[in-house]
A = this chain, B = another copy of it.
Amino acid sequence: MALEEKNVVVLVGGVGGAKLAHGLAQILPPGKLTIIVNTADDFWHYGLRICPDLDTVMYTLGGLVNKANGWGIEGDSFDMLAALKRYGESGWFALGDQDMATHLLRTQALLKGDTLTAVTQKLTTALGIGHTILPMTDAQVATKLVTVEQGELDFQVYFVREHWQPTIRSVRFDGIEGAAVSLEAQRALASADVILFGPSNPWLSIAPILAVPGMRERLLARELPRVALSPIIGSEAVKGPAAKLIAELNYDVSAKAVADYYQGVINGFVYDVLDAGLHIDGVRTTTFDTIMRTDEDRVVLAGRMLEWALETE
């Protein structure tokens, strides 16, 4: 069975995960890739339901993403935001004008009773994306960070408004116990030939996906390659607050700590050549150049990771 005939599921958060998903999307034919996306960063803002990770993945696969940021829409304007400030609003969360169309259509559909899965399908199809992007659940889950300086903060407040400066004491996913794996995600996992874990923050972006009741069991239900890609190189995160947060939660900032976190879930681990020499009990490992600077890098890394994952068969 050729690589192109495999059913691939990849679990991701935002920017880094979106890059790997984009690489996979360019290798796999339509219908063969399902991307399960963290939605615990989602929040309500000005009455709009905003799903940062879903949007990042969608804009990346749709060819719309702002390449310098890795999120948002290339060339987007911020005229509404400026007008909000004219009304005295702080405008701490960058709502792009083109981006607003996504928030508006999504919110309206959700308020009409559509599931987030259905809305996302509709939006991605309209953008010509042939692969399936699924929220981790249709329930509303909210990452809450207990900080030393400011008590409990909503994720976006911590991450965007406070520029991830407060010190994290603990993380919880509000509403997770009432969440469920959607039928669409159940189907994708039941027919998966390989499951990948994107280079997203395990504690912030992958943890909520794993915490959806029933998700872990479905990931582990069958014998198949389950391979994670480390977002940590040396003692640094490729992007974002991962390194700072990991240290604050009293873990080592290392690829090893990432692999340890995934113990019991993965059977394969890919990390950067710079960290070569890692041994993890019961888990196959390999090293690649894991930094995705260019679009070509994504395709190469996704291909290598997929081929390596499938070597186990």
A-side residues, CB < 8 A to B, are 46-48, 73, 76-77, 79-84, 86-89, 96-102, 104-105, 107-108, 111, 123, 126-127
B87 near A101: Cβ-Cβ < 8 Å: yes
Q: Is the interface of A mostly helix, strand, loop or mixed?
A: helix
Known: A89-B105, A105-B46. A98 touches B127 (CB 8 A): no
Q: Least Cβ distance of A73 to chain B in Å?
A: 8
A108 near B47: Cβ-Cβ < 8 Å: yes
Known: A47-B111, A105-B89, A107-B47. A97 touches B80 (CB 8 A): yes
B127 near A100: Cβ-Cβ < 8 Å: no
Name 29 A/B residue pairs within 8 A (Cβ), A-sorted: A46-B108, A47-B107, A47-B111, A73-B83, A76-B79, A77-B77, A79-B79, A79-B96, A79-B97, A79-B98, A80-B80, A80-B100, A81-B101, A83-B97, A83-B100, A83-B102, A84-B101, A86-B101, A86-B126, A86-B127, A87-B101, A87-B102, A87-B123, A87-B126, A87-B127, A89-B101, A89-B105, A97-B97, A100-B100
Could you say how many copies of this chain the assembly holds?
2
- Nearest B residue to A81 via CB reads B101
Distance, CA A77 to CA B123, complexed state (A): 23
- Nearest B residue to A101 via CB reads B83
A105 near B84: Cβ-Cβ < 8 Å: yes
Distance, CA A104 to CA B98, complexed state (A): 15
A105 near B87: Cβ-Cβ < 8 Å: yes
A104 near B79: Cβ-Cβ < 8 Å: no
Which 6 pairs, one residue from A and one from B, show the smallest C-beta to C-beta distance? A83-B101, A79-B97, A83-B98, A97-B97, A80-B100, A84-B101
Q: Least Cβ distance of A55 to chain B in Å?
A: 12
